[in-house]
Amino acid sequence: MSTPYNPQQNGVEKRKNRTIMEAARDMLHDQDLPMHLLAEAARIAVYVQNCTPHRVLENKTPEEVFSDKKPEFNHLRIFSCPMYIHIPKEKITKLYPS
């Protein structure tokens, strides 16, 4: 966030926003997804950036500095990867699509 009426800080803010939007746009373009998913892609881009080490933080991640724990990455997947949902047999009715 930048201080209002202080144009000296706007450069950093604009550059960060541009980096986020470029990453989001690239994720959508790479997977041939529609632009209405831009907000979700931007959210994921920010999440990944917060899990990335930064030189200013002495090669620690923002998450690590904030919580004193190294972030885990085993839950990350390719953006827009296939997903399968298991529904137990007890929950499936005869009218449920197969």
Mean pLDDT within 3-12? 70
pLDDT higher at 3 or 76: 76
Average pLDDT along the chain: 83
Q: Is the pLDDT of residue 7 over 70?
A: no
Considering the entire predicted model, what is its pTM?
0.66
State the residue for tokens 């959210």.
Answer: 43
pLDDT number for residue 98: 58
Q: Please name the amino acid found at residue 2.
A: S
With H, G, I as helix, E, B as strand and everything else as coil, classify residue 13.
helix
> Which residues are within 8 A (CB) of 23 and not within 5 positions of it... i.e. 6 or more apart?
41, 42, 45, 48, 49
Q: Is the pLDDT of residue 43 over 90?
A: yes
Instruction: Encode pLDDT of 47-95 as tens digits.
Output: 988 888 888 888 898 888 888 888 888 888 777 777 778 888 888 877 7
pLDDT of the residue at 50: 84
What DSSP string describes 33-95?
--GGGHHHHHHHHHHHHHTS-BTTTTSB-HHHHHHSSPPP-TT---TT--------GGG--TT
Q: How many CB atoms lie within 10 A of CB 6?
A: 8
% the chain with pLDDT above 70: 88
